[in-house]
Copies of this chain bind each other. A is one copy, B any other.
Amino acid sequence: MAPYETLCRLTRETAILQSIEALIGWDERTYMPPAAGEYRAEQMTYLAGIVHQRRTDKRIGELLGELATSPLTKDKHSDEATTIRQLQRDYIKQIKLPQTLVEELTRASVLGQQAWVEARKNNDFPSFAPHVKKLFELKRQQAEALGYKSCPYDALLDDFEPDALTADVAKVLADLRKDLVPLVQAIAQAKKRPDASILTREYPTAGQEAFGKAAAAAVGFDFHRGRLDVTHHPFCSGMGPHDCRLTTRYDEHFFPSALFGTLHEAGHGMYDQGLRPELYGLPPGMYVSLGIHESQSRMWENLVGRSRAFWQHFFPKFRETFSSARDVSLDNFYFAINSVQPSLIRVEADEATYNLHIIVRFELEQALLSGDLPVDDLPGAWREKYQQYLGIEPTDDADGCLQDVHWSAALIGYFPTYSLGNLYAAQFFEQADKDLGGLATQFSCGDFAPLLQWLQRNIHHRGQCHTAAELIQLVTHKPLTHAPLIRHLRAKLEPLYGLA
């Protein structure tokens, strides 16, 4: 067999094992009996070991060596060149990391998460601080082992947003912050306020489930190739070319949580379902980056799901489904689901303030990594930044720097991808609206297929054939900027809050 075919075969076999990892991880979070957790960890660890062995197998290195100058690499964006380039990238990263460091990181992250759970419960940052120090120290070692262009954060960011540079991300998020802070402040002082109590009436779970499934199916999630279950922390997980599973949670007294959560996960799911199935497990059949993945979920959740046009179509069904909302007008409902309110907790934040939560974390984790911010000073720095960007600050660390799992799990460089997702979403959406001529009219008729097909054609089908930066340039003819997101937020929020 030719080296390219052998490389693909080995990679597809590894993908089978990874898809099984995803499935047993899904089962762990959905249906696994309580007492089965310990053995499940053994199953996961054993599979992860085989996968790691296969990904760092010398045979892969040899095949990649043979293919380095192959004519297949000529056309950079072809499936073959992409396969070789991306697998080379993955292999180099894998073998650069000393086994001892990988093991230390795994251990530190397990212990870190345990300590975090306790620290958050007891509002006790000092007990968690030694873990943060250890984790950032190990991540510095990881960055040194991997190498980087300008700063160690580059190396870590690359795990989540491949090929992105810290300086570029910092620039676009700083631009965003500059425009977002005054907008959020203006809204905070606006006289017009939405009636948020509309959303906390009685919304029975069965109705929410039916409504959410119907909405996800209507926008294009294929339930023949996926499903929707219930978990405390919603997620989307792909476990095969035709098997993508979403989860959500139902709060009978807070309508937005399940529906927008479902649309968010369905957005991830439609990206997964839009990848070319025949390339499953190979880079041209895989998602580009977490930022691009998040752009899909945010687009369906916010740019579609919170649009007036979407509700022009769905509102009659909404009122029919929920007897408690029979007297609500579309206008009041639309304002309520788009209310903006500075808050302390990231995962509960609205579309506008969410990004400020991210910017706080992005700036702090860079300072922690470089050593500019001593770990012991984190709680104070956190309060300062919240005051500065959101105008409020937490009274305790549990609602402050202890609220997220990420740092305890060694996920440093992950946060910015959430806001990159919002930025990519707005810029792609603006282009799609231009290309397709009036998405709002289509949505108001319940027609979401043109947008989905546009995303499939321009993003999903391309897999990793382009980097995120190449993709946004290729599709929107511009590099990523903050302007489309700001335009979108102003266009929606200023009229609602009477600021226009």
Contact = CB atoms under 8 A, between A and B. Distances in A.
A224 B34 contact: yes
B224 A35 contact: yes
Interface string A12-27: 0100110110011001
Interface string A263-282: 00000000000000000100
A20 B43 contact: yes
Interface stretch (A134-142, A148-156, A207-215, A237-245): A237-245
Contacts of A31: 31, 227, 229
A280 B32 CA distance: 18
Given A24-B24, A27-B27, A33-B226, 11 more contacts: A23-B24, A23-B43, A31-B31, A31-B229, A32-B243, A33-B242, A35-B242, A38-B242, A39-B240, A39-B280, A40-B243
Given A43-B240, A46-B13, A242-B39, A225 B19 contact: no
Given A13-B46, A24-B23, A47-B20, A35 B243 contact: yes
22 contacts: A13-B46, A16-B42, A16-B43, A19-B39, A20-B47, A23-B23, A23-B27, A24-B24, A27-B27, A31-B229, A33-B223, A33-B225, A33-B227, A33-B245, A35-B224, A35-B242, A35-B243, A36-B239, A38-B242, A39-B240, A39-B242, A40-B240
Residue among A20, A38, A222, A223 with max Cβ neighbours from chain B (10 Å): A20
Contacts of A222: 35
Given A20-B20, A23-B27, A31-B31, A39 B241 contact: yes
A373 to B, nearest CB: 43
Nearest to A240: B39
A43 to B, nearest CB: 6
A243 B33 contact: yes
Tier of interface size on chain A: 35 or more
A446 to B, nearest CB: 24
Contacts of A39: 19, 240-243, 280
Contacts of A35: 222, 224-225, 242-243
Interface string A140-176: 0000000000000000000000000000000000000
Contacts of A40: 240, 243
B24 A20 contact: yes
A207 B13 CA distance: 45
Interface in A46-63: 46-47
A213 to B, nearest CB: 13
Contact of A16 (B33, B34, B46, B227): B46
Contacts of A225: 33, 35-36
A348 to B, nearest CB: 30
A280 B19 CA distance: 25
Nearest to A243: B36
Contacts of A47: 20
A477 to B, nearest CB: 36
A498 B223 CA distance: 56
